[in-house]
Chain A
C-alpha cells in the first residue's frame, strides 16, 4: 500500500498571504489528522477529520482551518500568514479511529517558510 502523501513538500510564502496544504491518506483510511511541528513548541495537534467532518480540534486560532473530501483526502488552510506559522506540517491517517488499536501513520510533511 502506498503511504500518506503530502503536497507540496516545500513552500515559501510571505506574511499576510494564505496557503493550502494537501494530504492523501493511505487507501482505505478515513481519518486524517494534522499536526504542526516547530523547534519551540514541538508537535502540536491541529485537527482531525473523519467522513468529511471535523471530529476534534486543537488549540489554534481560527486562521487555521481544514476540510476533508469524500475520497478522504484532506486540505488545511492557513490564512493571513505570520512568521510564527513557519513549521513542518504533518498529516497522519488512520483507519477509522474508532478502534483502540488504530495507529496514526504520518506523511513526509510540508515545510512552510513564512518570510
Chain B
C-alpha cells in the first residue's frame, strides 16, 4: 500500500525567509510524487510533480521540490516566502498502473508579514 507522511501540522515562516514543507512516502515500486496547494474554500491546485529524471523539480509560483530516494522524501521548498503562500499544502503519491492518489494529512503554512 502507498502512504505519505507530513510530520508537521503547521509551518510558520517570516515573509522573505525560505519555506520548507516536509514529506516522506512509502510505496512498493517507483513513486510518482505530487504537491498540491489548497486555499480556503477551494479545490486542490497542482504545484509540481516528480516522475523520473532530475531529482530537483521546479514548479509553479517559485516552488521546487527535491526527490531523495534513499530517504524516501520529497520536500517542498521556496527560497523566499510570500504572505500569499499561506495555505494548506498536500503531498501525494501514486504508482504506475494505479491512479489512486494517496495524500498526506496536509501542512498549514502561515507566512508572517
Contact = CB atoms under 8 A, between A and B. Distances in A.
Interface of A: 4, 6, 31, 33, 35, 42-43, 45, 48, 55-56, 58, 90, 92, 94, 97, 100-109, 111
Sorted nearest first, the 5 A-B pairs with minimum C-beta distance are A43-B103, A106-B44, A106-B43, A97-B99, A108-B43
A58 B94 CA distance: 14
A81 B43 CA distance: 23
A48 B98 CA distance: 10
B63 interface: no
A101 B43 CA distance: 21
B99 A56 contact: yes
Contact of B51 (A4, A58, A100, A106): A100
A41 to B, nearest CB: 9
A104 B47 CA distance: 11
Overall SS of chain B's interface: strand
B32 A100 contact: yes
Given A105-B46, A108-B42, A31 B51 contact: no
Contacts of B49: 103
A92 B52 CA distance: 23
Nearest to B52: A100
